[in-house]
Structure 1
Amino acid sequence: MCGIYASNFTIRGVNGRPKIDAAGKNAMGKAIWVVVGNNVLIANVEMYGAKVPDRNGAALRLEGAGFTLLNSFLHDNENGILSGANAASDVLIEGTEFGRNGYGTGQTHNLYIGTVRSLMFRRNFSHDANVGHNLKSRALTNYILYNRFSSLRPGETGSTAAGQPSYEIDLPNAGTSYVIGNVIQQPAANQNGAMLAYGEEGASNAGHDLYVVNNTFLNDDTARGVFVMVGAGVTKPVLLQNNIFSGIGTLSSQVSTVAKTNYRSVAPGFVNRATYDLRPTPSPLVVNAGSDPGVSASGYVLKPVAQYKHVAFWVGRPVTGVLDIGAYEANSIAP
């Protein structure tokens, strides 16, 4: 347990992934590692067991500006990552698994990113948050690209025990946000029926642009569901384009939402739903049925260029002709 005060500093596990078991201990009453320095990179570590007296202990507590986490596994902590507010900070998280983090109060999460300048969250696997969210970010700009958000059935055990998350993705203060190419699953046992929440704590961030493009949403709750919940303070129409929405539920809570070339079905055709092979089976309603999403208001290209591959990896998206709807092309390799 320690504070990391150096800037422009790299910590990398070698010869396998080292396991760091806090066993209930902490640094500064905050975390296993408290990252105070700027531009710190951490790669290839497994961290678990963080606990502090106020029940808010994290594997990683971010206090500096600029942080990168690569190819790691954070699980069974009171928080996975807990970041403070820092408008000069850009956070990159890539190729990392988060599971079963959270004390169980709903106030602790797999990841909590404070009001930073930007979050780039790509090709990660976040699952089974313990009552909290699988990802919560107050960043001014969010890039949530080619990830898998999904959890186990009650009683199942995978890399962690099963949990009951609230939101799969929570962007409580809005912000310009790109949600592209993800698998977003609401498990049957959950703490909140909404899957992607945007601006529900007040749209205080300057950007109110949400682009939800080529994702595969899976709602396993047969009693309730909201695929995209938008707070009342967000008046700019959300864009939902080329998404598969599987299961029951309200598409969007925002009346003005722009919905283009999406596919809704209680049970869409997938190659193997049970094993998360979510490539679409041949159907003219999905295959070659998407539309070109173009660019965002700021010029960001919205067309997906990759797709998630388990665990916490990605491959290029082999588009030939027209885009397929959803997170996977039908002619791609198995995920």
Structure 2
Amino acid sequence: MYPDDLTIRGVNGRPHIDAAGNQSGGKGTWVVKGMRTLIDNVELSGAAVPDRNGAAIRLDGIHLTLTNSFLHDNENGILTANDYTSDIVVEHCEFGHNGYGDGYTHNLYIGRISSLTFRYNYSHDANAGHNLKSRAGTNTIAYNRFSSTPYGVAGTTASGQPSYEIDLPWGGNSVIIGNVIEQPADNSNSNILAYAEEGVNDSNLQSLYVVNNTFLNHAGSGQFLMIGGGVTKPVFLQNNVFAGPGGIITQGSAIQRNNYASMSPAFINAASYDLHPAPGAPFIGAGAAAGFTLTGQALNPVFEYVHVAGSTARPVRSPIDIGAFAAR
């Protein structure tokens, strides 16, 4: 796909393109080479290439917006080239059971680009890889659900054994706000969120803000946040719920404020993912205003994730409730 300013939109329902291994240039199903491409309301599956690194959407151009789409059962959902002028926006999409199974292919693999905005999405059941991997210089990851389907439970795809739920291997200026981030009992790595574990690629791009998320660990042990040793700026960690076993964060200098950790927090119904605080839960009204990043980005959550791949306005309360959801 070479044209600039190209729009691809499914109409009269969501069309399903099953590549069944058919591919372009040894790269994947749709190879996008133009600028400012918009893809809306499509379902893509079956991307496979001889080197086992095929993608449903391979971005060789710059500036991609993907909305209202379902990418599943590909070797990669999205795979991008490295171009630091490129910005990518992904909204209201589902990614499931992508990955060849070798740990090197993922639901999404975003290369060294300028920025990734990833919001209101459902990314789940990566096949041994990560539910989201990004090397972008700036990452805004907001109001999503990262989780997996237990074996034997019906889902939109087969169950997977993901590695990291979120992997930001080169760090980046990153805001992670209002997400449900769940580690399944069956996983390929006990760490849930990894940041700069491969080193800091740019010393000016190493700020991490983790605010008003709900973390769930169903494994017997693990680490909620693993921070690379090369990160010198303290991670900002505020108003998060940590449910289940495991260490909170590996960075000793992290700024930790108004977080709540419990083996079994008082949710409305955790089994059905109603993670609103139950009446009387101790994390109701126990948060505090998180303020702004050093670049002026507001850290107050204004939306909540709604399944599947939706959102709704978050009620405004003071003091704020801890976690990704406000009390009803």
**TM-score interval (norm. to shorter):** over 0.9
* Partner residue in 2 for 1:117: 114
* Partner residue in 2 for 1:248: 245
**Separation in structure 1 between the aligned mates of residue 313 and residue 36 of structure 2, nearest angstrom:** 29
Name the aligned partner's letter for residue 119 of structure 2. R
**Separation in structure 2 between the aligned mates of residue 202 and residue 256 of structure 1, nearest angstrom:** 17
Question: Which consecutive aligned stretches of 4+ in structure 1 deviate over 4 angstroms post-superposition?
Answer: none
**Separation in structure 1 between the aligned mates of residue 132 and residue 154 of structure 2, nearest angstrom:** 21
Name the aligned partner's letter for residue 57 of structure 1. G
**Separation in structure 2 between the aligned mates of residue 271 and residue 258 of structure 1, nearest angstrom:** 29
Aligned pairs for 1:176-325 (under 5 A) are 176-205=173-202, 206-222=204-220, 224-283=221-280, 285-325=282-322
Deviates more, 1:71-80 or 1:276-285: 276-285
* Partner residue in 2 for 1:47: 44
Check whether the contact 1:100–1:162 (CA below 8 A) recurs between aligned residues: yes
Select the residue among 145, 149, 153 that pairs with 2:150.
153
Report the secondary structure of 2:139's partner residue: strand
The alignment yields a C-alpha RMSD, in angstroms, of 0.7
Q: CA deviation at 1:201?
A: 0.6
Query: How far does the alpha carbon of each residue in 1:56-76 deviate from its partner, in whole angstroms, 9 at most, with x for none?
Result: 010000011110000000000
Q: CA deviation at 1:283?
A: 3.2
Check whether the contact 2:266–2:281 (CA below 8 A) recurs between aligned residues: no
**Separation in structure 2 between the aligned mates of residue 156 and residue 26 of structure 1, nearest angstrom:** 32
The count of aligned residue pairs is 327
Name the aligned partner's letter for residue 168 of structure 1. E
Q: CA deviation at 1:85?
A: 0.5
- In the alignment, structure 2 segments of 5+ residues that lack a partner are none
Report the secondary structure of 2:225's partner residue: strand
Report the secondary structure of 2:215's partner residue: strand
Q: Does 1:106 align with 2:97?
A: no
Name the aligned partner's letter for residue 203 of structure 1. V
Check whether the contact 2:35–2:64 (CA below 8 A) recurs between aligned residues: yes
- In the alignment, structure 1 segments of 5+ residues that lack a partner are none
Name the aligned partner's letter for residue 59 of structure 1. A
**Separation in structure 2 between the aligned mates of residue 156 and residue 309 of structure 1, nearest angstrom:** 20
Query: How far does the alpha carbon of each residue in 1:192-238 deviate from its partner, in whole angstroms, 9 at most, with x for none?
Result: 0111100001111331110000000000002x110000000101110
TM-score w.r.t. length of structure 1: 0.97
Report the secondary structure of 1:274's partner residue: helix
Query: How far does the alpha carbon of each residue in 1:274-308 deviate from its partner, in whole angstroms, 9 at most, with x for none?
Result: 11000011336211110000000111000000000
TM-score w.r.t. length of structure 2: 0.99
**Separation in structure 2 between the aligned mates of residue 111 and residue 320 of structure 1, nearest angstrom:** 34
**Separation in structure 1 between the aligned mates of residue 80 and residue 319 of structure 2, nearest angstrom:** 40
**Separation in structure 1 between the aligned mates of residue 59 and residue 120 of structure 2, nearest angstrom:** 21
Check whether the contact 2:103–2:129 (CA below 8 A) recurs between aligned residues: yes
Check whether the contact 1:155–1:161 (CA below 8 A) recurs between aligned residues: no
Q: Does 1:18 align with 2:35?
A: no
Q: CA deviation at 1:316?
A: 0.3
* Partner residue in 1 for 2:6: 9
Check whether the contact 2:276–2:325 (CA below 8 A) recurs between aligned residues: yes
**Separation in structure 1 between the aligned mates of residue 233 and residue 122 of structure 2, nearest angstrom:** 30
* Partner residue in 2 for 1:77: 74
Report the secondary structure of 1:51's partner residue: coil
**Separation in structure 2 between the aligned mates of residue 134 and residue 6 of structure 1, nearest angstrom:** 30
Check whether the contact 2:284–2:320 (CA below 8 A) recurs between aligned residues: yes
**Separation in structure 2 between the aligned mates of residue 65 and residue 45 of structure 1, nearest angstrom:** 20
Name the aligned partner's letter for residue 38 of structure 1. M
Report the secondary structure of 1:23's partner residue: coil
Q: CA deviation at 1:322?
A: 1.5
Query: How far does the alpha carbon of each residue in 1:150-190 deviate from its partner, in whole angstroms, 9 at most, with x for none?
Result: 00112333000000000000000000000000000000000
